[in-house]
Structure 1
Amino acid sequence: MFACIPQPLRYAEALLGHYARLARASGAGALQDGLVQAAAQLAACELGQLYLLDAGHSRLELAAQWLDGRLQPRETASLPSDYDAGQLLHYCLCQNRRLCLDELDASLYPGDFLPEGSKPWRSLLCLPLTNGQGQVAGLLLVASRRARALQGFADSLAQLGAFVLAQRRLLGRLHASPIEPVAERPAALPSASDYGLIGDSRAMRDVYRLIGKVLHNPVGVLLTGETGTGKELVARAIHDCGLRRSKAFVAQNCAALPESLLESELFGCRKGAFSGADRDRPGLFDAADGGTLFLDEVGDLPPLLQAKLLRVLQEGEVRPLGATVAHRVDVRIVAATHRDLRALVEQGRFREDLFYRLAHFPIELPPLRARDEDILRLARHFAAKACAFLGRDACRWSDAALEQLAGYAFPGNVRELKGLVERAVLLCEGGELLPEHFDLRRGPEDNDSTLNLRQRLERVERNLLFDCLRKNGGNQSQAARELGLPRRTLLYRMERLNIRAADL
């Protein structure tokens, strides 16, 4: 009798049965296990997986897995949530798009996240799951060892996943870790390569950690720090690694244009709005619709434009110059300044309400003098790029040149270092970079009275040891030979200067 029931009706009955079982689940773990089992059985697939973002939205955790008819033990492995062109999971997560592959070719689509077996996986369906705020919270995946069309299951499985996330919220477990670890493990340190930035110093690792918090959250970000610290690079990293990476990234320096031109540049204008406005022209907010608008030197924004920017942030609407009607835009604002905005607010030169809107999530970029371990690595990187641009063989570095850079304070930060290295490469004729190729002007920062002679020498020595160890891939024996030191002496100096293997 059951065989006479039409297929869609049988599927609907099975789907309702899974809903009923999930509604009776008493905890987050049971909900997650029930979801992967239901997804695999409904789609007639051998594999069902549920991935969830951790509380900090920086790691993607395998929360539950159904394989070949039974639940699997909870995994402790995790993946960085940032977009990686080689990972299908990261594509679905960061693009917030469904992915259905009826013919999964392993040579075209790397599937390292899929369990290994005697037979290859032939078809796959991956669905992003959103929470109550519309943010991507995880992924639901089913896969089969047969070539099958799975697109027809996408809507019902996505709704089932949304139901499970809602149930988790009701159980008060939304912000809890989706995995119950079997053993305590240290949190993974963010890597510089995750965001296309260079530097592994402790100060930069703090920056990477903060970047990971905002990649998948549509909050405004305020980048602060001295000039030349790379604020635009961080803004681009937030855009390129986040959910809006497929849309435009638009940058505008608020100090580069007079007020009259900056207003039309940002908000657009209508024909006849002012002399020379011979046509309607969209502004940068329209150009960045769906993407990110980077406002550099926002502390120099004139008072009138501060008010208009505040309205955009509050209402999500833009009214072009000369227009009577506003229209909606969906733009993420990343602002940057080297000024102390709080001091400007106290002086009455910057709106307090706008300051709190922009400073929803502040990230302060460290000056280069606070990133001693990164100086020589950055210098080598800029030299390699300059040599490649000029079509030259790579330049060698003299020990004296490295020592000179390691002890310099760089008041102009990374921008100054880049310019110094590029100039040195142009001046270098013998294939070796020497101290005379670098125009280092000593300033007050280099004569810091808070450091005595021993501390200054240790700072230089620490930078040189870091550089040599990194160059040798952390191999202490090779580094000791290159430095002309016994290995025991190198280990003693590393301990004295607080250089740990984890820092490399």
Structure 2
Amino acid sequence: MFTQVPQPLAYAESLMTQFAKLARAPDGPALLSAFVRGLTELSGCELAQVYLLDATHTRLGISAECLDGVLRPLEATSPMANYYEEELMQFVLCQNRIVCLEDLSSSLQKTDFLPVVTAPWRSLLCVPLVNQHKSIEGLMLCASQRRNELQGVADSLRLLGSFVVDQLHVLQRLRHPSDLVRSAALGPPSISGYGLIGESTAIRKISSLISKVLHTSYTVLLRGETGTGKEVVARAIHDCGPRRSKAFIVQNCAAFPESLLESELFGYRKGAFTGADRDRVGLFDAANHGTLLLDEIGDMPMQLQAKLLRVLQEGEIRPLGSNETHKIDVRIIAATHRDLAVLVSEGKFREDLYYRLAQFPIELPALRQREGDILDLARHFADKACVFLQREPVRWSKAALNQLSDYAFPGNVRELKGLVERAVLLCEGSELRPEHFSLCNEKTAECSRFNVRKRLEQFERSLLLDCLRKHDGNQTLAARDLGLPRRTLLYRLGRLNINTSEAYQEAKDARSHVVRF
């Protein structure tokens, strides 16, 4: 670690002295002040700064600065200043990498965040601050007006910075909350900061997982029952992350047959197929530098899964009808209500794609598992409904709250939202009462077993089988009767595991039965 330092033993002694001095700091402000002063001594730079992320990891504020041996008072720092959009700082935070620039005059990087001084800044070192859980909480910066070899001290300063971050947590737990360091809320992430409602243990765990994956490029797999808020979590990862200024696009993989889904995702060139009279940009290109949510990934056809795997591995796509590939930079978030591990064992989902998607899985809890959150969510939805309807806020009767608390909500948050909005619409007075809600508490178990998706699948399966029997298993005639393209019919038959030969045999047996009669 000290091989590139001119006097290794003297530097090591100075470094240990700084560790001992920082360990004796009585509070957060004193710790950060001693840290930036120590950085100037160890690096030999005129400037040292510490920047810390807020609870939502969307704002980066300066928390301590030492310039020419003089500490900058914390009160002089504007609480509204946000350095998160600075390209250099964002690169350090998102890539978790040390940046060392030995000649700023020839660098293309903007350094507007550096204070204005008489002589120009020549050297710069920017190091991420990582806690014991390997989560980034900010960065430290050293700058000099002369050419300074800073690479040799980078690793040791990174270790010192990690010690400071962890020590800051210890001091926060020991002192009164009013003495917290401004601009550095390093406690548990704020639930409201990610748009999540509730204070249950389950939802706090989700918030914690979001904060850990927010500034990484990992592929996230959101799993959970229908209506648990998978798209809300995906949008939180996008809106609170470094890609929030770019596009956020959602594609339901069960909404299109294979051929249409492929052209929708990858785009196509003019003449790629019949009807392709112009070039069209796919969703991967449309979401470039942003986020693409692939909802219901478990329903993606096998052939298309192989193409998605290449996108995840190589970061490149080839539109339909094109001979050339090109690079894309898209964060993929996948969501499903199905158990992909079971689909893999059944041969309906690629194992290699499953492990690639499950790089960072997040299991969303059902609403019945979020103890105490139902009433918070209900009040939130009621307030929003009142604003939308332009009416006075409504009160909640104790009986209505008890009724909601006792209900299992098989449709989860989506069902709760619909029930509350309907109740507000039905409520002619100023208080929500049990009669405004249509709940089937006595049939909760039955409702949970037969949710909306399963009922629709049963209806669709029955309709397709009846049509196939009517036309003796002829798929072309059945598709024409249903008003569907034959390719779409084949896709739906495959998704519902309908065997056309069995339908034909049933129709044949039925006819023979009628003749014998």
Q: How does 1:176-215 map to 2 (within 5 A)?
A: 178-181=165-168, 183=170, 186=173, 188-215=187-214
Q: Which residue of 2 aligns with 1:117?
A: none
Q: Percent identity?
A: 55
Q: How does 1:97-496 map to 2 (within 5 A)?
A: 100=112, 129=127, 138-140=138-140, 160=150, 164-168=153-157, 178-181=165-168, 183=170, 186=173, 188-442=187-441, 445=444
- Displacement of 1:136 after TM fit? 7.5
- Displacement of 1:331 after TM fit? 0.9
Offset from partner CA, 1:279-311 (integer Å, 9 cap, x none): 111111101111111111101110011000000
Consecutive unaligned residues of structure 2, counting only runs of 5 or more, are 20-34, 94-108, 117-123, 174-185, 448-517
Query: Counterparts of 1:272 and 1:28 in 2: how far apart (Å)?
Result: 69
Q: Which residue identity is paired with 1:332?
A: R
Q: Work out whether residues 317 and 329 of structure 1, in 8 Å CA contact, stay in contact via their aligned partners in 2.
A: yes
Q: How does 1:66-85 map to 2 (within 5 A)?
A: 66=66, 69=69
Is residue 2:49 matched to residue 1:37? no
Q: Which residue identity is paired with 1:401?
A: A
Q: Which of 312-321 and 239-248 deviates more?
A: 239-248
Offset from partner CA, 1:168-204 (integer Å, 9 cap, x none): 57x7x79766444595655833221221221111100
Q: Which residue identity is paired with 1:295?
A: L
Query: Counterparts of 1:182 and 1:319 in 2: how far apart (Å)?
Result: 48
- Displacement of 1:167 after TM fit? 4.4
Offset from partner CA, 1:215-251 (integer Å, 9 cap, x none): 1111111000111010011011111111211221111
Q: Work out whether residues 129 and 136 of structure 2, in 8 Å CA contact, stay in contact via their aligned partners in 1.
A: yes
Q: Work out whether residues 221 and 360 of structure 2, in 8 Å CA contact, stay in contact via their aligned partners in 1.
A: yes
Offset from partner CA, 1:45-87 (integer Å, 9 cap, x none): 6xx3224679x999989997536726799x9xxxxxxxxx945
Say if 1:163 and 1:263 are closer, same or farther in 2 by CA, change over 3 A.
farther
Query: Counterparts of 1:192 and 1:99 in 2: how far apart (Å)?
Result: 33
Query: Counterparts of 2:313 and 2:399 in 1: how far apart (Å)?
Result: 55
Q: Which residue of 1 aligns with 2:82?
A: 88
Q: SS state of the match for residue 418, structure 1?
A: helix
- Cα RMSD (Å): 4.2
Say if 1:21 and 1:101 are closer, same or farther in 2 by CA, change over 3 A.
same
Say if 1:139 and 1:177 are closer, same or farther in 2 by CA, change over 3 A.
closer
Q: Work out whether residues 303 and 349 of structure 1, in 8 Å CA contact, stay in contact via their aligned partners in 2.
A: yes
Q: Work out whether residues 272 and 320 of structure 2, in 8 Å CA contact, stay in contact via their aligned partners in 1.
A: yes
Q: Which residue identity is paired with 2:385?
A: A
Query: Counterparts of 1:34 and 1:307 in 2: how far apart (Å)?
Result: 54
Taking structure 2 as the reference length, the TM-score comes to 0.64
Q: SS state of the match for residue 402, structure 2?
A: helix
Say if 1:24 and 1:363 are closer, same or farther in 2 by CA, change over 3 A.
farther
Query: Counterparts of 1:423 and 1:417 in 2: how far apart (Å)?
Result: 10
Point out the structure with max Rg over C-alpha: 2
Q: Which of 237-246 and 176-185 deviates more?
A: 176-185
Q: SS state of the match for residue 11, structure 2?
A: coil
Q: Which residue of 1 aligns with 2:50?
A: 50
Taking structure 1 as the reference length, the TM-score comes to 0.65
Offset from partner CA, 1:67-110 (integer Å, 9 cap, x none): 6726799x9xxxxxxxxx94514444558696626999xxxxxx
Query: Counterparts of 2:430 and 2:63 in 1: how far apart (Å)?
Result: 54
Q: Work out whether residues 131 and 166 of structure 1, in 8 Å CA contact, stay in contact via their aligned partners in 2.
A: no
Say if 1:182 and 1:264 are closer, same or farther in 2 by CA, change over 3 A.
closer
Q: SS state of the match for residue 25, structure 1?
A: helix
Say if 1:337 and 1:136 are closer, same or farther in 2 by CA, change over 3 A.
same
- Normalized per residue, the structure richer in helix is 2
Say if 1:191 and 1:446 are closer, same or farther in 2 by CA, change over 3 A.
farther
- Displacement of 1:355 after TM fit? 0.3
Q: SS state of the match for residue 223, structure 1?
A: strand
Q: Which of 177-186 and 231-240 deviates more?
A: 177-186
Q: Which residue of 2 aligns with 1:491?
A: none
Query: Counterparts of 2:114 and 2:296 in 1: how far apart (Å)?
Result: 49
Q: SS state of the match for residue 242, structure 1?
A: coil
Offset from partner CA, 1:394-449 (integer Å, 9 cap, x none): 1111111111111111110000000000101111111211111111123654699x
Query: Counterparts of 1:39 and 1:276 in 2: how far apart (Å)?
Result: 67
Q: Which residue identity is paired with 2:11?
A: A
Q: SS state of the match for residue 372, structure 2?
A: helix
Q: Which residue of 1 aligns with 2:457?
A: none
Q: Which residue identity is paired with 2:420?
A: V
Q: Work out whether residues 397 and 432 of structure 2, in 8 Å CA contact, stay in contact via their aligned partners in 1.
A: yes
Q: Work out whether residues 94 and 242 of structure 1, in 8 Å CA contact, stay in contact via their aligned partners in 2.
A: no
Q: Which of 185-194 and 413-422 deviates more?
A: 185-194
Q: Work out whether residues 408 and 446 of structure 1, in 8 Å CA contact, stay in contact via their aligned partners in 2.
A: no
Q: SS state of the match for residue 293, structure 2?
A: strand
Say if 1:210 and 1:399 are closer, same or farther in 2 by CA, change over 3 A.
same
Say if 1:312 and 1:177 are closer, same or farther in 2 by CA, change over 3 A.
farther
